[in-house]
Structure 1
Amino acid sequence: MHGQLLLLGVPGTELTAADAARYKAIRPGGFVLFGRNVASPEQLRKLTDDLRDISDITPIIAIDQEGGRVSRTREIGTEPPSAQELREKGDMGLVARHGILMADLLRLLGFNMNFAPVLDISYDDEADNAMKGRCYGTDAQEVITNAGIFNRNLRHNRVLSSGKHFPSCGLADTDPHHDLPHIDKSVADMLKSDLLPYTALMPELDSLMSCHAHFSAVDPDSPGLPGSLSHNLLTKLLRNQLGYEGVIMTDDLDMGAIVNTYGRGPDVKLAVAAGNDMAMICHQVDTAQVALDHLKELPISTIDDSLKRVEKMKKRLSNPLKYSQKEWDLIDEDIMKLRVDVLGEEAAKEVRDYSGEKRSPVEGY
């Protein structure tokens, strides 16, 4: 059952015999897909169906579908507006439509979880810290209002959510895809700002995603320890002090902030020991067996607690919608209408090319 604590990526656009054999042996709790897995709506739905078919326990099938540059379906359909574009428009009805449309789109493609909403506060919209365009607010209340509306509508239409990146990537001084950010803000100050969206929305979120950044005020005696591997942060602060009882999952452990320092196996073991319930391996999928072997070294009580939380969350997973090209076309048309209402007719029809920007690789995955 240890494999239920792993979320694994998929190498390509179809499930090969080798892929299927690996996943049947590991029995992961779920899968996370990226742009590399997307060739057409029909192909993507077949892939998600195949992943369900090889799983003897209903799997999480997740994707990052935030809108804007973090839209994994950009190559096969209309790019939804970003969180920043929605917040700047200032119309909460449009935020609600965005949540509904993302849920309908994802269920049609066979997904049951969206790694959204982003709950980070944007302190600098131009910061080179992976968060450009992705934040619902420049203060805690704006994030709570906008992300809360998105989250409620996403979940109402039966796609599970994941609030990220606990406790704050908005403060990051570098991009965790490359290096480990260091954040020196005190816990008292975070409780009055960055942590407010989590404490306010905690009862309405299906899971939380932990952040690959070092928080010096939380781990003063462990310089360079990522928050995603921190017992002080995830167990003492998030669970014991803030009272969170749901699933915690790591961000991708294949990011530079982790792989530059920790080997595969020790990273996963440290993550779950710290308080995460699920460890995410998005790219180096061939290391999953090593990860599984290290999970088996943890106390059975730790594993059981996480398994119970994951099982409880999975009871809320919904079946996909019946796929049809007509339904795909209708949803895509509605996303374009939303773009027009948010951005205006001319800007909505522009196709954004992110390749030349000196930014995070997040939009290219």
Structure 2
Amino acid sequence: MHGQLLLLGIKGYELSSNEIHYLSKIQPGGFVLFGRNIHSPEQVRALTDSLRDLCDIPPIIAIDQEGGRVTRTKEIGNTPPSAEQLAQSGKPDLIAWHGILTGLVLTQLGINMNLAPVLDISYMPDADNALRGRCYGRDAQEVINNAGVYNRNLIRTKVHGCGKHFPSCGLADVDPHHKLPTSNKTKEEMLQSDLLPYTALGSELSAILTCHTHFSELDPDTPGLPASLSRNVVTRLLRDQLGYKGVVMTDDLDMGAIINTYGRGPDVKMAIEAGNDMAMICHQTDTAEQALASLQELSPYAIDDSLKRIRKLKKKLAKTIAFSRDRWDKLNDEIMELRIETLGEEAARDQHDSIANSRSPVEDY
């Protein structure tokens, strides 16, 4: 039961005997795939099929497939344009096309949730905070318009979207993969900017992902507390004030912003007590049993609402369809067509990362 509160990473291209052993015991609520899990379309589909076979309750199988530098399938197919590139094109039909193509690609791979769209506002396009190229706009309305088009077309394919990073990473001064960012923005200021995409699109989002940034004005009595572990942010702001009723999950708890301060066990427990429904452990997966033991200290009553929300989402998970190599190849060709329409022929053919000195692990996972 408590295992349903965990979203776990996998080490390689297939499950090891050790992973099969402990995952069968934990029965996690879902999994998150990364580049280290992707060798070929057929191999990924075999992996996701094995994850489903392992679970008594159908799992969420998620991935970060944003486009641009955060494209986990870039080694096995063409890379879609980034959110920033699509927004700068000024053509909503291209964003819609991207949403549909992304969902169809993930469906072929047996993946049922995309950890996108990014709802952060690009205040500092050149800041070293992991967001370069990943945002849909420079103001709230632009993000709402573009991310909304993307998400509505993604879910037409029966793949669920997850808005991130609540309440905002746009003002982060450092990369949370390395250490904890801090923002001094007030709640009133955020309600007029950063939170608008969540109020506008919240009813369309199956899930929202909370960020590892400390908001000094939201948690003045707990210096250094990340939003992802804050009851003021997750429960009082997102749930109570904004009225969000879907699943809430943490960003990866193995990021430096968390792991440098909180031990494994206390971090997942704090995450659920703050109001998250699911805690994400992407890299230090050998600690999953330790995380489960800490979660089992929580009473069934304390996690009942989370389990209900997770069950409600899982009832909407689409049945898998058969993998088709011909279909995969056709979709891959369409992604190149999308690149050409968005970037022009010459730029589209050059698929290397053009964002110099990004220095974030996010594109390499």
In structure 2, relative to structure 1, the CA distance for the partners of 1:355 and 1:20 (3 Å cut) is farther
The equivalent residue for 1:295 is 295
The AA in structure 1 aligned to 2:59 is P
Offset, 1:296:
1.1
Q: Alpha-carbon deviation of 1:18?
A: 1.3
- Unaligned residue ranges in structure 1 (runs of 5+): none
User: Residues of 1 paired with 2:113 and 2:196: CA distance?
Assistant: 23
1:16 is aligned to 16
- Aligned amino acid, residue 297 of structure 1: E
Matched, 1:286 2:286: yes
Name the structure 1 match of 2:318: 318
- Which amino acid letter does the alignment assign opposite residue 213 of structure 2? A
The offset of 1:354, in angstroms, is 6.5
2:343 maps to a residue whose letter is L
**2: distance between equivalents of 1:318 and 1:64?**
19
- Offset at residue 322 of structure 1 (A): 1.4
Letter in 2 for 1:232: N
C-alpha contact (below 8 Å) 1:3/1:29 kept by paired residues: yes
Deviation at 1:134, TM superposition (A): 0.3
Within 1, Cα distance between the matches of 2:320 and 2:86? 27
Is the contact between residue 180 and residue 258 of structure 1 (CA under 8 Å) also seen in structure 2? yes
2:70 aligned residue: 70
Residue correspondence of structure 1 range 186-205 to structure 2 within 5 A: 186-205=186-205
Partner of 1:166: 166
Match of 2:101 in 1: 101
Name 2:92's counterpart in structure 1.
Answer: 92
1:178 paired to 2:178:
yes
Whether the aligned pair in 2 keeps the contact of 1:112 and 1:319 (CA below 8 Å) is no
The amino acid across from 1:13 in the alignment is Y
* Structure 1 CA distance for aligned equivalents of residues 356 and 56 of structure 2: 43
User: Is the counterpart of residue 156 in structure 1 residue 183 in structure 2?
Assistant: no
Q: Secondary structure of the residue that 1:177 maps to in structure 2?
A: coil
SS of residue matched to 1:32: strand
**CA–CA separation in structure 2 for the residues paired with 1:330 and 1:102:** 13
SS in 2 for 1:162: strand
1:125 deviates by: 1.1
The whole-number CA distance in structure 2 between the counterparts of 1:156 and 1:329 is 21
Answer yes or no: is the 8 Å Cα contact 1:109–1:320 preserved in 2.
no
Q: What's the counterpart of residue 61 of structure 2? A: 61
Change (3 A) 1:362 1:354: farther
Unaligned stretches of 5+ residues in structure 2: none
Aligned counterpart, 1:341: 341
- Residue in structure 1 matched with residue 128 of structure 2 by the alignment: 128
Q: CA deviation at 1:76?
A: 0.5
Aligned counterparts of 1:64 and 1:196: Cα–Cα separation in 2: 23
Question: What secondary structure, in the 3-state scheme, does the structure 2 residue paired with 1:7 have?
Answer: strand
Aligned Cα RMSD in Å? 1.0
Q: TM-score, normalised by structure 2?
A: 0.99
Answer yes or no: is the 8 Å Cα contact 1:84–1:135 preserved in 2. Answer: yes
Contact 2:83 2:135 in 1 (8 A): yes
Q: Is the 8 A contact 2:166 2:209 kept in 1?
A: yes
Letter in 1 for 2:338: L
Question: How far off its partner does 1:351 sit?
Answer: 2.2
Please tell me whether the aligned partners of residues 5 and 278 of structure 1 are also in contact (alpha carbons under 8 angstroms).
yes
Whole-Å Cα distance in 1 between the matches of residues 83 and 218 of structure 2?
Answer: 29
* Mapped contact 2:69–2:353 kept (Cα < 8 A): no
Partner residue of 2:224?
Answer: 224
Shift in CA distance, 153/278, structure 1 to aligned 2, threshold 3 Å: same
Residue 274 in 1 paired to residue 274 in 2? yes
CA distances 1:233-270 after superposition (whole Å, capped 9, x unpaired):
11111111111111100000000000000000000000
Q: Distance in 1 between matches of 2:313 and 2:40?
A: 30
User: C-alpha separation between the residues in 2 aligned to 1:235 and 1:137?
Assistant: 27
Contact persistence 1:13–1:36 (CA under 8 A): yes
**Counterpart for residue 79 of structure 1:** 79
SS, match of residue 8 in structure 2: strand
Alpha-carbon distance between aligned partners in 2 of 1:132 and 1:336, rounded to the nearest angstrom:
22
Report sequence identity in percent: 63
Pairwise CA distance, 1:353 = 3.9
Query: CA–CA distance in 2 between the matches of 1:251 and 1:184?
Result: 21
TM-score normalised over the length of structure 1: 0.99
The CA deviation at 1:359 is: 2.2
